[in-house]
């Protein structure tokens, strides 16, 4: 049985958007003392590489998300709006999310379902090509698309600034964030987790939450549990300033291999599937550092997709000024992992961001705080995110996770 002496009520491993959001909501619920550990600093890994667009993806754009996910998504939009209104410098822009089709096949397959979705938010509307041009400040001219759909309530933020703002709030609320403190293992007593080992010594806790994404498997290995995660290296490009207006919505173009782009300090930040790769197609250094460096993915993105992007955006600069990469983690059913680790007392897991961690982070943090502090959640059903929805040992390799992932219809 665990001793009554603990250094913290909850220790969270990982100071990305999921870990800092969880810490914030635990402190908001007066769940006791909270310590967040990170090998680097808040937002120094995948959260800092996030594109920062936040929207209602479950309303027709991503068919693997459901009404429960929409609840989390709306929570995230409202949360970041409040955070910005309270003075946090998170570069919040309330310009909406714009979904575009460059041809009628793409429109009918991916964009029209957003318009017709039964849970489409109020104010959703379809746009003629000339309206797309007007809304984007002619960044995307009418000749480049066949139409679009606007979700007016979507926002964009700086994912790194938002994560660091959450970390600052955690400290203001009495929580502790220990930077440059790597978790080297987990303490156990009678088979239950009772703390975390670090190079600076052990930290004893009543509960431990792993929110460290691609770096979680090593800590879980001694327990015989392998989280069903596929690590993806994702590239985000930032183009030089070229007069892109700050009023432009975030733009999603699914028929261009999942293109997304948004304004960024007078230029564009963008990416698509040509700049992505599963870990098993790269070398063994994936996950060895907080942010990977695979320039071959940038070269492929530039070579394969650069000409297509210039057709969509013919006037503004789309060259590669600089780039950054993160390691989002995908799950077999594209749903998140949030809850107790099966058969291990005192240990919880929050991850499987499915490249949507920034949008869902605040809501997942609130839901997980209810689970850790009170054993369940009343405002959103946590059962779809339970880890034990997958049989133990069902996925032994990342290739198996990739093979099970649903294709977008």
The mean predicted confidence, pLDDT, of the chain is: 96
pLDDT of residue 2: 46
pLDDT of residue 3: 53
pLDDT tens digit string along 238-295? 999 999 999 999 999 999 999 999 999 999 999 999 999 999 999 888 988 899 999 9
How confident is the model over 8-22, as a mean pLDDT? 98
Domains of the chain: 8-48+160-228+333-395 (3.50.50.60), 97-152+230-330 (3.30.9.10)
pLDDT at 362 over 60: yes
pLDDT at 39 over 70: yes
CA 205, distance to chain mean position in Å, is: 27
Whole-angstrom distance, CA of residue 401 vs CA of residue 340: 21
How confident is the model over 42-61, as a mean pLDDT? 96
Q: How many CB atoms lie under 10 A from the CB of residue 252?
A: 27
pLDDT at 34 over 60: yes
Percentage of the chain surpassing pLDDT 70?
A: 99
Whole-angstrom distance, CA of residue 240 vs CA of residue 267: 5
pLDDT at 1 over 50: no
pLDDT at 180 over 50: yes
Closest CA to 193 of 2, 393, 388, 376: 2
pLDDT tens digit string along 311-336? 999 999 999 999 999 999 999 999 99
pLDDT of residue 115: 97
The pLDDT confidence band at residue 408, using thresholds 50, 70 and 90, is low
The pLDDT confidence band at residue 409, using thresholds 50, 70 and 90, is low
Give the strand pairing for 183-189 and 322-326. unpaired
pLDDT of residue 392: 87
By the 10 Å C-beta count (0-12 exposed, 13-18 middle, 19+ buried), 195 is classed as buried
pLDDT tens digit string along 372-384? 999 999 999 999 9
């Amino acid at each position: 049985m665990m001793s009554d002496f603990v250094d913290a009520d909850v220790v969270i491993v990982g100071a990305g958007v999921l870990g800092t959001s969880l810490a914030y909501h635990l402190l908001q619920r007066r769940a006791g003392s909270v310590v967040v550990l990170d090998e680097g600093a808040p937002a120094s890994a995948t959260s800092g590489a996030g594109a920062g667009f936040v929207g209602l993806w479950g309303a027709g754009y991503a068919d693997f998300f459901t009404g429960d996910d929409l609840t989390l998504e709306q929570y995230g939009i409202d949360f970041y709006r409040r955070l910005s209104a309270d003075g946090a410098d998170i570069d919040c822009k309330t310009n909406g999310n714009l979904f575009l089709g460059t041809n009628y096949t793409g429109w009918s397959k991916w964009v029209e379902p957003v318009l017709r979705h039964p849970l489409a938010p109020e104010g959703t509307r379809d746009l003629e090509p000339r309206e797309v041009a007007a809304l984007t400040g002619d960044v995307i001219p009418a000749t480049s698309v066949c139409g679009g759909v606007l979700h007016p309530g979507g926002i964009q933020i700086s994912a790194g600034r938002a994560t660091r703002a959450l970390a600052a709030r955690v400290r203001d609320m009495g929580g502790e964030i220990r930077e440059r403190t790597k978790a080297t293992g987990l303490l156990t007593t009678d088979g239950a987790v009772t703390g975390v080992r670090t190079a600076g010594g052990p930290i004893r806790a009543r509960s431990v939450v792993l929110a460290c994404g691609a770096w979680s498997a090593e800590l879980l290995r001694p327990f015989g549990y392998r989280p069903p995660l596929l690590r993806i290296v994702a590239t985000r490009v930032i183009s030089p300033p070229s007069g892109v207006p700050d009023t432009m919505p975030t733009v999603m173009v699914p028929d261009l291999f999942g293109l997304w782009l948004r304004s960024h300090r007078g230029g564009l930040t963008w990416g698509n599937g040509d700049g992505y790769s599963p870990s098993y197609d790269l070398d063994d250094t994936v996950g060895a550092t907080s942010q990977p460096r695979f320039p071959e993915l940038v070269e492929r993105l530039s070579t394969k997709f650069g000409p297509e992007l210039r057709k969509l955006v013919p006037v503004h600069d789309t060259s590669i000024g600089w780039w950054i990469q993160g390691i989002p983690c995908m799950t077999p059913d594209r749903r998140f992992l949030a809850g107790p680790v099966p058969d291990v007392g005192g240990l919880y897991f929050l991850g499987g961001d499915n490249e949507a961690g920034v949008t869902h982070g605040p809501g997942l943090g609130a839901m997980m705080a209810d689970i850790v502090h009170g054993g369940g959640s009343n405002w959103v059903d946590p059962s779809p995110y339970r880890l034990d929805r997958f049989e133990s040992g069902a996925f032994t390799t990342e290739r198996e996770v990739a093979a099970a992932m649903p294709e977008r219809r």
